[in-house]
């Protein structure tokens, strides 16, 4: 799935959650507290999802390995940077 489609989808989902929650809150006696809880829930859940989504797009820390293992992987895997010929 494209990153923009997933971003828009989840943003619309949490926006609809907040709007529908505010509409449902009108039916209750303590509508201001319920509305506040629904809006805070929607905002916090969206922010948590957004932070997780952005961190997966461009991770700050990648896998770390020792130099001999890295050289072995580059020499034995197909389409490595060292050579294009298959190993004997």
CB 83, CB 75: distance < 8 Å: yes
> 85 versus 10: which is more confidently predicted?
10
Task: Return the residue matching tokens 């770390």.
Answer: 64
| The pLDDT of residue 87 is above 70 | no
> 3 versus 61: which is more confidently predicted?
3
In the prediction, which pLDDT does 32 show? 93
Q: What digits encode the pLDDT tens for the residues 20-67?
A: 999 999 999 999 999 999 999 999 999 999 999 988 887 777 777 888
In the prediction, which pLDDT does 42 show? 96
CB 21, CB 35: distance < 8 Å: yes
**Domains of the chain: which residue ranges?**
3-76
The whole-angstrom separation of Cα 69 and Cα 71 is: 5
Structure tokens at 33: 């507290």
């Amino acid at each position: 799935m494209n990153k923009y489609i997933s971003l828009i989808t989840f943003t619309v989902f949490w926006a609809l959650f907040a709007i529908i929650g505010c509409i449902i809150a009108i039916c209750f006696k303590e509508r201001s507290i319920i509305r506040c809880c629904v809006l805070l829930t929607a905002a916090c859940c969206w922010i948590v999802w957004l932070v997780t989504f952005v961190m997966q797009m461009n991770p700050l820390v990648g896998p770390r390995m020792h130099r001999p293992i890295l050289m072995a992987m580059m020499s034995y895997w197909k389409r490595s940077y060292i050579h294009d010929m298959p190993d004997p």
